[in-house]
Structures are given as C-alpha cells and as structure tokens.
Structure 1
Amino acid sequence: MDFLLSAAFVLCWSSGFVGAKLGAQDAGAVTILMWRFLPLAVVLAAVAAGRGWWRTLTPSTVGRQAVIGLLSQSGYLLTVYYAIQLGVSSGTTALIDGTQPLVAGALAGPLLHQYVSGRQWLGLCLGLGGVAVVTTADAGASSGVAWWTYLIPFAGMLSLVAATFLDQRSRTPVPPTVSMTVHCTTSAVVFTTAALATGAAAPPSAPSFWLAIAWLVTLSTFGGYGLYWLVLQRSGITRVNTLMFLMAPVTAVWGAAMFDEPFTVQTAVGLGVALSAVAVVHTAGRKSLAPAPSLPLPSPPCSAPTCLSRRRRTVSRRADC
C-alpha cells in the first residue's frame, strides 16, 4: 500500500512541473495560479460548508493551516512557475526542488527528533550530487537563462520545507480534506489579489490554457498535493522528502517528450545518481525501523498484599485436603 501511494505521489507531483510548462505557453504565472485555485476554492468551501467541517476548527487552527497553505502552495508554486516562465527547464526545476530531502534531513533531528542515520545521510548527499550534475548539464545546454534564475526554485523549496515542519510540529490533527480546503482558499485569495493588482486576471481564450488548468487541478492539486500530506503522515518526513529525488526522472522524460527539452548523457547520469540516492535512503530507513529482538521480561516483584492473599489461598487449600 505504501509503495502504491509513493508511486502515485511521484507521478502526480511531477505532473505539476509539466502542467506549469503547459500553462506558461499561454499565460503568466499569476494568471495560471489564480485560475487554478479560485474555482477549486469555491467548490471546496461549498462542500466544507455543507458538511459542517468548519465547526471542528478553532481560529488558531485555521490560522496555522492558512500559514501552512501560504508557504506550501502560494510561496512554493509561485517560485516554481516563475522560474519556468523565465526559461528554467521543468526537469531542472524538479531537480532543484529535489534538494529538499537534504534540508529536511538536517532539520528533522533538532526540530522533530526524527534523526537521520549515517547511511541515510550518505544517500541524501548522493542525491544532492545528482542534482548538481543535472543542473550543470541544463545550464550548459540552455541559452539565454540567467544564472540567478536557478536560485528561484531553491527559495520555493525552502518555503515547502518550512510548511512541512510547521505541520509536523502541530499537536492538533487536521483531516487532509479540511486542510486542503483552507490551503486552497488561502492561495485563491493570494493569487486573485495579485492578479487583480497586476492586471493579469483575465484568462487567455486558448483551449490549451484550460487544458493546463484541468491538468493542474486534477493531477497536481488533488493527486500530488493531497498525497504529499498523506504519505507524510504514514512514512515520516525523511522518507517522503527523499521521494523528491524521483521527481526529476519523471519530469525530465516528460519535458523531453512534450517540450523537446535537452536530455543529454550528463542528464541521464545525474538522474541515475538521484535514483541510487533514493534506494540508499529507503533501504537504510527500513533497516533502522526494523524491530529489535524481544527478550523475556522478568516477572514483576510480588507486592505485600498480593503475596499475603496468595499465602492465605495456599493455607485454605491445605486445610481442605
């Protein structure tokens, strides 16, 4: 079950980079994000009102979830879309996003007491090497892309890491359907305000734009974003973030097939390194989670009233005999 959820998460999350590239052909980042979240937020809010989900939330919980949504959707997606709009390939954007496991692994111990083993650290550093190899290959193959544009996806990655830790430190469990409603509503308000302020609210008439919106809502939001929090709850922060290394192979193949993005030998080597990193981390994670051999426990010492009762029963049996 966990394997199927992880595979579905990788496929759906990587679809977001492809959807962003599809939408960027017809509109800017703010326009795409406004129309991705505004209709979705209206539908989710109507469902929440009909089922009375809002009654289970306190103002502090709503505020916390709104901040998580602001970081994990608004901050993260705006940087990803903006980088792709500036010319960074979808595969490289996914690979830069793949450095998230290293950052999350470094912070999981002091913040969440989920410590990373030495073998897992080896895998995380190996994954970072794969990211560096592919990013260098893409930077050499792409023309007209400024070096500083590669820093934009890093900012989005840090935003998602911050949202993940904020969610994990919360002591109030929130159902995924409720949290997604708050997150999408927050993003709808942010992106609609930004689009209206910049004059980018009007959607293009091209059918490909609405195809990209349908792609993003169905696969990326419900599939990728929803499964992210579900797998996080089931597997922990280190293992779910390590799956980010797998986004690059799927996204790079899609980018080469759909957008004719460069896929060189160096790119393939980097992707192979990233895949090896995932295998190392997950193998080490299974070993660290293996249960320790159980030992027979000594019998608890007999308390005075219990021992006295046992003696009385023994004397009574002897008297009956």
Structure 2
Amino acid sequence: MSKQIGIPRPILLTAASVLFVLSWSSGFLIAKAGTAETHPITFVLWRFVLVAGLLAAGALFLAARRRLRMPSWRNIRPHLLIGLFAQFGYVAPIYLAVAAGVSSGTTALIDAVQPLVVATLVGPLLGLRVRALQWLGLALGAAGVVMIVWSDAATAASPNPAYLLPLVALACLVAATFLERRTSSTLGVFSTLSVHSGVSLVAITIVAIATHTWAPPAESSFWFATALTALIPSLLAYALYWALLRYLGITGLNALLFLVAPATSVLGALIFGEPFTLATAAGLLLGAAAITLVLLPPRHPSPESPASSDDSAAQHPTQQPSPPSQQRSHSSAQR
C-alpha cells in the first residue's frame, strides 16, 4: 500500500485560503497607511511599477533556467481586458475611496457584497448551479456585512459619493471573474499576473500623467508602504485569488471574500484604532457560518445527477475548469 508523502491537499487548501484572506485584507490596510500623505493615483502607479520590476526579475530568473515558456497571443489577448478589470479597475477605486475618508473596514465590507452578486449571476451567465445550503450561507454572510456596515456608517465622516467607489471596484472584480471563467484561454499564475499587471501599469500611467500625479515623494515611509503593497496584495493575494478560483470554483472563492471584511475590521481596530463593536463581532460569526455552509460538499452526490462545474472544482481541486465550449458539450451530453 502506497503512503502519501508531503502535506495533504485539504491542509494546503486551508492554509492557502487563510493566507488569501489575510493578504487580501492587507490591501485595504496598506491603502489607508499609504494614502495618508500621498495622492492615491501616485501610490497605485508606483505600486504597479514595483510589481512590474519584480515580475521582470522573476521572468529573467526563470528564463535563465529554461523554465519560462512564452504564452501565445491567443492566450494573452483575453487577459488584457480581464487584467484591466481585475487590477486597475479594482485597485484604483479602492485607494481613492480610502483616501477620501472611507475607513478600511467599511471599504472591505462594501466590497464583500461581491459573493452575492456572483452567486446571483453565476446561473444565467455560466449555467452553474448554486445549492440551497450555499444560498443560505450567502444570505447569512450578507446579513453579517449589512450589520457591520450599518454600525460603521453611523460614525463615518467621509462624503456619501465616496461610498460609490468601492462599488465600482466590486463591479470590476466581478466582471474579471466571469470573463476569466468564460474564456478558453489558459495561462499559468505567473503569466496571468504578468499580463494583468502590465496592462494595469499602462492604464494607471496614462491616468497619472493626465492628472500630474506621477512624481513620487522622497520619504522612506512611502517606499516602504509601496514595497509592502507590491509584494502582499499585488503579487501574493492575486496569485492566490486566481489559483483558488481554479481549485475552489467561483462560489467557494467568493465565500472566502466574506471573511475579508471582518478580518479587515479586526486588523483595522488593532492597527489604526478603528471601532470594533458588538455588530462587528456578530458579523464575524455570521461570516464564519456563511463560509462553512457555502463550502460544505453535497450530502448525497449522485453519479447520474448533473453537477455544476463549480461544485466539481471544489470537490476535485486537481482538475482545472473546463473551457466554456467543453462545459456546454458536457452539459448537452448529460441532458
């Protein structure tokens, strides 16, 4: 009998999920620190400059060891639009919102509505099935988000239009997620990050030049915050996002985003002294219950019953999601 060597896959997925929540939360916290004395567009621009430099160094390292394979233009082309939504369209509004006075916790909480949007659209857009228990979990998570937002908004000092910026970021990330799931293009995580960061750097450079906000300050605190945001939310968090999307599926991944909001609130209270109330604690508990329900496997799976590709991805993490054309033909064969 063969014996498994190494760390079991469930433990790896759990560790990756925890690391994803913490690294994604750090983006809101670093945004608060980095935009305190710097224009948000300047901060975002140099974040992407550093990311591009790190990825270029990584590409040279891989090329020197003959481990870098250049993807085809056919695979790169769809990811230009996906990257524009996923990084430029998501990051810039978040930093603008935090700079306008929206707290890091509240920004994350507004952004946490994403799983409900995805769960609502996943059926009509991708033809995937969301189970009743998953809907219950998503509803509990939404209740937790509303509870904390209601509490935080009561003491907010930022202008109301600033709260629209996280909604713009939310819409961009949802669009990127669905575009990625509908494309038949296949890119590795490194190539995905490189293409997404490259197209976002071009976009933010145009904005920075047009608004005369490209010149960086000389303070060491700016460069320290920029280095942190390049390494953690830019590279680590996005690498985990696309990797977990392939292993857990859309519903499972977006359930993890419910935990980003309370995690950001807890860290914001510890680091910046932002309020942590009973409503925050209750929202944290509801978020934990939500992710448990969403990620529970079906109780009585049947080989004959058609399963959504999202459920299949969550139960068989070694399989990559099929291209839309293959999913459609597989669905027709089942019918």
For the aligned residues, what is the CA RMSD? 1.9
Report the equivalent of 2:318.
none
Partner SS state of residue 287, structure 1: coil
- Separation (CA, whole Å) in 1 of partners of 2:252 and 2:135: 12
Conservation of the 8 A alpha-carbon contact between 2:27 and 2:229: yes
Conservation of the 8 A alpha-carbon contact between 1:34 and 1:201: yes
- Separation (CA, whole Å) in 2 of partners of 1:275 and 1:204: 41
Q: How does 1:290-309 map to 2 (within 5 A)?
A: 291-292=301-302
- Separation (CA, whole Å) in 1 of partners of 2:52 and 2:26: 20
Correspondence 1:155 to 2:168: yes
Query: Cα distance, 1:15 vs. partner?
Result: 0.8
Report the equivalent of 1:272.
285
> Structure 1: which 5+ runs fail to align?
295-321
Correspondence 1:141 to 2:155: yes
Correspondence 1:166 to 2:179: yes
Among residues 216, 219, 223, which one is paired with 2:236 in the alignment?
223
- Larger relative contact order (CA 8 Å, sep ≥ 6): 1
Query: Cα distance, 1:114 vs. partner?
Result: 2.1
- Separation (CA, whole Å) in 2 of partners of 1:189 and 1:86: 24
- Separation (CA, whole Å) in 1 of partners of 2:71 and 2:35: 39
Q: How does 1:20-39 map to 2 (within 5 A)?
A: 20-39=31-50
Q: Deviations over 1:246-301 (max 9, x none)?
A: 00122111111111111122222222222221222122xx126x64379xxxxxxx
Report the equivalent of 2:198.
185
Q: Deviations over 1:184-236 (max 9, x none)?
A: 11111111221122111111222221121111111111211110000000010
Partner SS state of residue 88, structure 1: coil
Conservation of the 8 A alpha-carbon contact between 1:48 and 1:54: no
- Separation (CA, whole Å) in 1 of partners of 2:195 and 2:136: 37
Correspondence 1:125 to 2:139: yes
Q: When the two structures are superposed, what TM-score results if normalisation uses the length of structure 2?
A: 0.81
Conservation of the 8 A alpha-carbon contact between 2:262 and 2:280: no
Among residues 92, 95, 111, which one is paired with 2:125 in the alignment?
111
Report the equivalent of 1:57.
72
Conservation of the 8 A alpha-carbon contact between 1:83 and 1:149: yes
Partner SS state of residue 37, structure 2: coil
Letter in 1 for 2:223: W
Among residues 262, 265, 285, which one is paired with 1:249 in the alignment?
262
Letter in 1 for 2:233: S
| Structure of larger gyration radius | 1
Give the helix-richer structure, 1 or 2: 1
Q: Deviations over 1:62-118 (max 9, x none)?
A: 221111110000011111111111111111111111111111111112222221011
- Separation (CA, whole Å) in 2 of partners of 1:158 and 1:174: 23
Partner SS state of residue 56, structure 1: coil
Q: When the two structures are superposed, what TM-score results if normalisation uses the length of structure 1?
A: 0.85
Conservation of the 8 A alpha-carbon contact between 1:105 and 1:116: yes
Among residues 87, 97, 101, which one is paired with 1:87 in the alignment?
101
Conservation of the 8 A alpha-carbon contact between 1:245 and 1:274: yes
Letter in 2 for 1:228: Y
Report the equivalent of 2:307.
none
Query: Cα distance, 1:146 vs. partner?
Result: 2.1
Q: Deviations over 1:164-201 (max 9, x none)?
A: 11011111211110111011111111112211221111
- Separation (CA, whole Å) in 2 of partners of 1:54 and 1:185: 17
Task: Quote the sequence identity (%).
Answer: 41
- Separation (CA, whole Å) in 2 of partners of 1:282 and 1:54: 35
Among residues 108, 111, 116, which one is paired with 1:102 in the alignment?
116
Conservation of the 8 A alpha-carbon contact between 1:76 and 1:160: yes
